[in-house]
Amino acid sequence: MAGQAEIEIAKKLFAAWSSGDPDAPGEFLTEDAVLYDIVEGHEKVGWPAVREFFATTLKIAPGVVLAPNEFWTNDTGLAVRWHMSAKVVGDAFGPDHKGKTWHSEGMSTLEFRGEKVCREVDYHHGGAVLRSLGV
C-alpha cells in the first residue's frame, strides 16, 4: 500500500516538473517509465522519450508550475490533484495574451516500482488554458 513515502516522492517529482530543468524529473522515474498526457494523446515510453516531451513542453511553457494539492493512495500508487500555470510566450493565444499567466486544474495517477514512478497518467482539459485567458 502506498503511503506517506510515496506522497513525498510525488511532491519531489512535481517540484522537478516545475524546476525548468528537463533532466530533473529523471531522478524520480524508472528508466522504462511511461508518461501518458491525455491532452497530448500518446504514451511516452522510457525516460529519453519522457525527457524529450518535457523539454518540448518547457519551450512552449517556460516557467510551468505544477503544484500538487491533494493525494489519495492505493495498493500500487497514488492519485494527485494539482494546479498548473505558466506565462504565455509568443502569439499562440493572440498578441493581447502574451505575458499573461494561464491556469489549469488536473489530476494524475502515479504507479510506483520501488521508490520510483514507473507510470504517470495526467488528466486535464485542454480547453482550460484558453478559458483561463478568456479566449
How would you write the pLDDT of the chain (135 residues) with one tens digit per residue? Answer: 899 999 999 999 999 999 999 999 999 999 999 999 998 899 999 999 999 999 999 998 989 999 999 999 999 999 999 999 999 998 888 899 999 999 999 999 999 999 999 999 999 998 999 999 998
Are the beta carbons of 34 and 119 closer than 8 angstroms? yes
Q: What angle do CA 15, 63, 60 make, to 5 degrees?
A: 120
Amino acid occupying residue 4:
Q
Are the beta carbons of 82 and 105 closer than 8 angstroms? yes
What dotted CATH number matches 4-133?
3.10.450.50
